[in-house]
Structure 1
Amino acid sequence: MKNATTIREGYQPLAAVAACATNLTDFASHGLHFKRQLLQHLLDHSVESVMITDVNGIIERVNSAFTEITGYTAEEVVGKTPNVVQSSRHAPEFYQQMWQELAKTGTWNGQVWNRRKTGEVYLQWLSINTLTDEADQVTHRVAIGHDLTALKSTRNGRSLFTFNDPLTQLGNRQLLTSRLDQALAEAERNNIGIGLMVVDIGRFRQINEQLGLAWGDDILRQQARTLQAAVDEADTLVRLQGDMFAILRHSRAQDSAMAQLADKLLGLMSQPIILADNNVVSLQPSIGIAIYPRDATDNAGLLQAAEHAHSMAKRAGRNRFQFVDQRQHDLHHRELLIEHSLHHVLNTMLGEGLSLFYQPQVRPTDGKVMALEALLRWQHPKLGPLSPAEFIPVAEQSAQSVRLDRWVIEQVCMQVALWQQRYSQVPVVSVNLSGQQFSEKDFADWLLACVKRAGITPQSIKLEVTETSMMAHRERSVAMLGQLRELGFKISLDDFGTGYSALACLHQFPLDELKIDRSFMVEASQNARAFLLLKTIVKLAQELSLNLVVEGVEEQAQLDLLANFGPLMVQGYFYHRPMPVIDVAKILDLG
């Protein structure tokens, strides 16, 4: 929609109405013939509606555009008040403020919901000017209006905005956005609440698949009629997309009223629908509800909050409504911010805020650093330092983990190359792979090309994959990891003991190393049976010729438990915390 400034520019020709007749009485009785002709021409040929009232608000004259827009002829409205076109969408305070401003300044401009003769409510930009006589007494008021829901180009006659959904004949998302803007402005001005519902009919995909698109469209039209009959006349009902609708409530937006409406809609929409071929369809609608200003204070935020509440209702089992859970909404908003920021960071290719820390893996018999694990850190510009436990799952859910992995690998390869130029012995560096890499057919070729560009060998890099992701992508992971291992990369099974723990399957995977998760180590230090299981896993790994890394070693007592387990490496705070590159250099200097 055009902003208010642009829209007002369209009214400049009709501003001449007031300019050429500052005294309407003078015009009517004593004005010049030229002024009468000019005013008549403007009234007859304007696309804006014009209504002229006397000082008491009684309509004296309207133009043909008024009739075209409202459906009322001059004979039907002359002698009446403007209430004839008034909708019920504004609170009484709205009109009180309008009249107060007219009395104070002589003019009023703004968006108003009015009603056509057919009963249809439409959005109008309205400019009201006050006319006075020589004694500066108010004689008339001129209201100039433009129908914003049917804004036309006078040059080509083509509609500039399409607010109609052709399937259901309801409004569409554009109409909702337009009316949300107006409703929010009015709500802020009058300190009132508004409500927004997002509704889906449920099981729509199955209906399309089982009965076909034609029946699906018919059901959508039926449900649209059901919703239209159920909502208030002053509500805005639109089809957002697919089987999703939205209802904007301009008044009575308290929780109790919104819940009452939602409960009513669920009852109506879940009724079985009998189709023409006697098929019976049962639907499972879900409704999400957001309230201004509690849940959001702007257009996009309110719609996002309602959509999130709708998503929660679906997850909870459908056929129910859900208000915004503020804690869940805040968490969802935070996740979206992380997702969008991550997308930006990866697209700029600068890795802004991203950095790598390295945690040594130590041989406890002599304290020698045998390997380094690269750990990703992120200093978010708005949220501050983010834990990988928070942003890695977001990257996976938003299908960005593949690109994030590759950014890390590229940085590691360049860093290893720099170290190898300076030091004669550089430990192997391990990087973590997400399960989504197993779906990337080019990964092995890409990785080999990456290490070659950096000028290092595959033997310099160790790839850590979790037990869970390997088992979830079993066939693909076996094939890909086997290919990578043949190229010279080391393969480590990470977080062993937290996932499937399929001991019998270990021999089927192309592995060089087994990493026992920190939680397993903690349990083994407190429980005799867990300690016995740990001992068994260590023995099994040795028999399979797998290197062994035990994570989470933080105390001497834990290290003592491993004293008789044979050759292994430990990783944990007892020796080293994750450290930046500059501190790794100090360790390599000692090596």
Structure 2
Amino acid sequence: MRHSVQTLCHDIRHLADELVAEATPLDEQKLAHLSACCNALLAMLQTAPPDEPAQDIPLSQYERMLLCDHDVIWHWQPRNDALTLSPRWQTLYHDEAESSLAQWCEKLHPDDRDRVHSLCHQGAAAPGVSRIECRLRDGRGQWRFVRLRTVGAGPEGTPGLTGVLSDITHERYRDPVTGLGNSDLLDQQLEDALDNVPGTPHALIKITMVNATLLSESEHFNNTRELEARIADLLADLLPEGSLIALPGFSYALVTPFEEKAALARFLEPLQRMLATPMETPVGRIWLSYVVGVVPFDAGSNAGVDILRKQARLTINNASSAGVGGIHYYSDDLGARASRASHGEQLIRSALASDGVLCFLQPIVSVREGGRVTAFEALMRLKDGDDIAMPGAFIEAAESTGLIHQLSQRLIDKALQILVDPAFTHRFGRDFVININLSRHQLKDVMLVDEMMALIHRHGADPRRVNLEITESAILAEPAIALRNLVRLREHGISIALDDFGSGYSSLSQLCELPLDCIKIDRRFVMDLEREPRKRHVMTSMIDLCRRLEFRVVVEGVEESATLKTVCDMGAEQIQGFIYARPMPFLDVLDRLGATLSPILPPPRAAGAVSH
């Protein structure tokens, strides 16, 4: 008989769920089938032994249709707020049954209480089948997911609600592939940890297998699920029972008490040893590459679940870029960098969509020719609402996202227009040069030369008036491709300048190996030049070396008249810096600069003023 009752209950619940999900009008055939199942169930229950849980509550024909012998029978009368639960409640939830709906709702999750209370009142007022899902804390203090199937209206039409309470925790909190807890359970565990005694330290640990996706597609495994299950079994054996959570993308997490980094490192040592051991498969051994991210947090802190999950993702992303293995901790600096990167990317995309890539110019002056402007360096700025964003706000994001290529194309396009602008030609002559910076992404692009020459020809510009600035780090990214591009660019008449000379470790070898025309000495050698004898000796030697190698030399970052005199005495012939002009929008150049420039002297000091 028990088997028959369970079968009928299964059919009744299935039909009830379908009817609840359907829009009105209801399917008459399904209603008839549901009624037949209920009648058959009633006939069986009438012969049930006296100690059956169903006898604890008087049920009408429509109320009994939801009965299932492994669920809690639930009956509520709104008139006196009387709630009756079958003895199964104490077995499943380790707690005494409450006597009112209000008391029962207090055991629900705070986010569910008002919703469930309202739905119960609505369901009691009208006949029909309803289904409510919510989170319920059991007698052990753990959250359970439950589903309440109810039938509204009590005997003789009086308001009431009768149904069964089914535990669906495994359905809602478990990953179907690995059997581990899922993302919803992780959220709940984080909520519980945050609600702990204020100040209690915890840690969210996230483990990601960075090469698992590739391995799952190899000949070692039949499908992704097979590898997911293998990894889950290995990790679960080493960690406290029930603590491990399976997340998408071969990631796993757990929430644990946290005292100090050394203790956590000892806690994770067995896991790291296991991951360093090869995994045996029918076709050979494989090794898993992993990263571990740790987010420490205290109970009672302002950080919510979403923030902690986001911090874990940032930590894992940073750890992956730093290399596999090891334990990486979240820090406020990491969060600030991520925020800047996100803002920078949005700033870039907005600028690309609205012609917000701006070309600022800073003149390069020949002191030997009396201050004549011989070149301009094209510098990128972006519109940021009513403000102007400096490169520090977006360059890192541009390079990490690959958007640097689109930005540079826009800047180059605007810079080349200046070479053929009649007003600029009238003011500065037909031989001034435009300096354009190349990023490492551009320098290793095999299409660089073709795209550059196409832009130059489109504007009708002379390639001999284009000077491309590169850095040592850009060259080292892909030396072979970079060298090939530089040689081809010079073959077309374009000049090459090594920017920030002296700031790296291999500058001298680059002077011998790279096809260069100009050297720009880094501003670090210019700062405090008059007060540091070693810098003066180095600067003198660099200028003399570049002259012997027949390179043009530009000294960057000159801001004071004393510095200008010093570098000129050393033999410098071209100067770039605030001493002559700050970077400005190209439209302002004609209004503010002449063909020759004089040093901008500091304003005279007021009488009696004290120097700081």
CA positional deviation for 1:72: 5.8
Alignment CA distance shift 1:541-1:63 (3 Å):
farther
Indicate the SS of the match to 2:361: strand
Residue 95 (structure 1) aligned with residue 96 (structure 2): no
Higher mean Cα deviation, 366-375 or 265-274? 265-274
- Contact 1:497-1:517 at 8 Å conserved across structures: yes
Cα separation, 2, equivalents of 1:65 and 1:195? 43
Indicate the SS of the match to 1:510: coil
CA positional deviation for 1:518: 0.5
Structure 2: gaps (5+ residues): 1-15, 41-52, 74-83, 96-103, 123-130, 138-142, 597-612
Match of 2:253 in 1: 246
Map 1:403-422; keep pairs closer than 5 Å.
403-419=406-422
Instruction: Mark the structure with the bigger radius of gyration.
Output: 2
Match of 1:157 in 2: none
Indicate the SS of the match to 1:107: helix
Alignment CA distance shift 1:211-1:327 (3 Å):
same
Match of 1:40 in 2: 35
Indicate the SS of the match to 1:329: helix
Match of 1:221 in 2: 229
Alignment CA distance shift 1:146-1:215 (3 Å):
closer
Residue 584 (structure 1) aligned with residue 592 (structure 2): no
Match of 1:378 in 2: 382
Alignment CA distance shift 1:43-1:553 (3 Å):
farther
Match of 1:575 in 2: 580
Match of 2:134 in 1: 112
Cα separation, 1, equivalents of 2:388 and 2:58? 65
CA positional deviation for 1:85: 5.4
Alignment CA distance shift 1:571-1:540 (3 Å):
same
Match of 1:288 in 2: 294
- Contact 2:209-2:290 at 8 Å conserved across structures: yes
Total equivalences in the alignment: 520
One of 531, 543, 554 as aligned partner of 2:536: 531
Cα separation, 2, equivalents of 1:63 and 1:269? 55
Alignment CA distance shift 1:513-1:488 (3 Å):
same
Match of 1:506 in 2: 511
Alignment CA distance shift 1:258-1:364 (3 Å):
closer
Match of 2:560 in 1: 555
Match of 1:565 in 2: 570
One-letter amino acid of the structure 1 residue matched with residue 359 of structure 2: L
Alignment CA distance shift 1:327-1:42 (3 Å):
farther
One of 141, 144, 165 as aligned partner of 2:162: 141
One-letter amino acid of the structure 2 residue matched with residue 518 of structure 1: R
One-letter amino acid of the structure 1 residue matched with residue 576 of structure 2: Q
Map 1:310-329; keep pairs closer than 5 Å.
310-311=316-317, 321=327, 323-329=329-335
Cα separation, 2, equivalents of 1:400 and 1:15? 47
One-letter amino acid of the structure 1 residue matched with residue 360 of structure 2: F
Cα separation, 2, equivalents of 1:517 and 1:555? 16
- Contact 1:494-1:514 at 8 Å conserved across structures: yes
Match of 1:402 in 2: 405
- Contact 2:364-2:374 at 8 Å conserved across structures: yes
CA positional deviation for 1:315: 7.6
One-letter amino acid of the structure 1 residue matched with residue 379 of structure 2: L
Cα separation, 2, equivalents of 1:557 and 1:65? 93
- Contact 2:471-2:499 at 8 Å conserved across structures: yes
Alignment CA distance shift 1:111-1:215 (3 Å):
closer
Map 1:477-492; keep pairs closer than 5 Å.
477-492=482-497
- Contact 1:102-1:130 at 8 Å conserved across structures: no
CA positional deviation for 1:542: 1.6
CA positional deviation for 1:368: 1.6
Match of 1:154 in 2: none
Alignment CA distance shift 1:466-1:268 (3 Å):
closer
CA positional deviation for 1:209: 12
- Contact 1:377-1:386 at 8 Å conserved across structures: yes
Higher mean Cα deviation, 328-337 or 267-276? 267-276
- Contact 1:285-1:318 at 8 Å conserved across structures: yes
Question: Normalization by structure 2: what TM-score?
Answer: 0.67
Provide the aligned C-alpha RMSD in A: 5.4
Indicate the SS of the match to 1:112: strand
CA positional deviation for 1:122: 8.2
Match of 1:49 in 2: none
One of 426, 434, 449 as aligned partner of 1:423: 426
CA positional deviation for 1:13: 4.2
Higher mean Cα deviation, 478-487 or 126-135? 126-135
Match of 1:541 in 2: 546
CA positional deviation for 1:378: 2.5
Structure 1: gaps (5+ residues): 1-9, 21-35, 46-52, 116-120, 152-161
Q: What does the per-residue CA deviation read over 1:191-241, in whole Å, with 9 as the maximum and x for residues that have no partner?
A: 999975421358869989999557998775344124445667776722422
Indicate the SS of the match to 2:342: helix
Cα separation, 2, equivalents of 1:576 and 1:398? 33
Map 1:447-466; keep pairs closer than 5 Å.
447-466=452-471
Cα separation, 2, equivalents of 1:518 and 1:304? 39
